[in-house]
């Protein structure tokens, strides 16, 4: 970045003015650390953001997606993904904090930072006590999900072993659109019926998009 003035170089700019003064491309350039023989880190950061549709697209990217951009090898791709994951984790709550989920929006706010905008589909559970305080969160399946992959018996076996009085089922849609599919509706029906048999309440089934969510309870379908 020798062609940039000292004040415009991302790392020097960060040191002088603070991290909030940097643009998205400059923050990515700092994470990358260096460029390659033909171009600098800032130019590579610009290309990366353009290729992936901005920061929002980076969150949904895999290591292979990033490594396709010129100047981004697997090492730099891993650095970017690690930085994004650290950002996700700072949005989570401390494990010692017993969070109470009083409404679907509380559950969605709890889940979106960690499970929204994922590039692959994940299905999991929030285990709740009798006051709907979070006991723990667990992922039960990863990949393309349907009613044959996610079995109610496995869901409620996990809930019973965890001592849960209620559960919130959740999964994400990599497309970013949380609108339920027919399979999602059928899975919710089966989970609700199994919960009645097991004596463990299905408090909700939440589908996570990028920044939006769908709650079967909120929509009066549970």
Q: Are residues 16 and 71 in the same domain?
A: yes
Question: Is there a domain that residue 122 lies in?
Answer: yes
Residue 109, domain CATH: 3.40.140.10
Nearest residue to 77 via CA among 38, 10, 118, 32 = 32
Q: Are residues 16 and 53 in the same domain?
A: yes
Nearest residue to 169 via CA among 187, 142, 181, 182 = 187
Question: Is there a domain that residue 222 lies in?
Answer: no
Counted domains in the chain:
2
pLDDT for res 148: 46
Question: Is there a domain that residue 140 lies in?
Answer: yes
Q: Are residues 198 and 130 in the same domain?
A: yes
- What is the Cα–Cα distance from 158 to 66, expressed in whole angstroms? 35
Q: Are residues 82 and 121 in the same domain?
A: no
Question: Is there a domain that residue 185 lies in?
Answer: yes
Q: Are residues 69 and 19 in the same domain?
A: yes
pLDDT per residue as tens digits for the range 165-180: 999 999 999 989 999 9
3-state secondary structure of 159: helix
Question: Is there a domain that residue 125 lies in?
Answer: yes
pTM attached to this predicted model: 0.65
3-state secondary structure of 117: coil
pLDDT per residue as tens digits for the range 107-165: 999 999 989 888 889 999 999 999 999 999 999 988 765 544 688 998 999 999 999 99
- What is the Cα–Cα distance from 11 to 41, expressed in whole angstroms? 11
Q: Are residues 116 and 206 in the same domain?
A: yes
Find the length of the chain. Answer: 222
Q: How confident is the model at residue 91 (pLDDT cuts 50, 70, 90)?
A: confident
Domain that holds residue 38: 6-90
């Amino acid at each position: 970045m020798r062609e940039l003035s000292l004040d415009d170089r991302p790392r020097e700019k960060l040191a002088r003015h603070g991290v909030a003064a940097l643009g998205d491309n400059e923050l990515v350039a700092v994470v990358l650390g260096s460029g390659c023989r033909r171009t600098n880190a800032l130019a590579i950061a610009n290309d990366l953001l353009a290729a992936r549709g901005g920061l929002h697209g980076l969150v949904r990217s895999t290591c292979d997606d990033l490594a396709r951009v010129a100047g981004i090898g697997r090492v730099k791709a891993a650095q970017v993904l690690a930085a994004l994951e650290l950002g996700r984790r700072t949005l989570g709550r401390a494990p010692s904090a017993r969070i109470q989920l009083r409404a679907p929006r509380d559950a969605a706010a709890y889940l979106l930072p960690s499970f929204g905008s994922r590039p692959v589909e994940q299905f999991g559970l929030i285990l709740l006590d009798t006051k709907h305080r979070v006991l723990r969160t667990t992922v039960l399946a990863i990949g393309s999900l349907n009613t044959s992959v996610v079995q109610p018996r496995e869901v409620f076996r996990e809930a019973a072993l965890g001592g849960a009085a209620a559960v919130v089922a959740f999964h994400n849609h990599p497309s970013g659109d949380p609108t339920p599919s027919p399979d999602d509706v059928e899975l919710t029906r089966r989970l609700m019926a199994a919960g009645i048999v097991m004596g463990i309440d299905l408090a909700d089934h939440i589908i996570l998009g990028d920044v939006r969510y769908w709650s079967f309870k909120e929509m009066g379908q549970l």
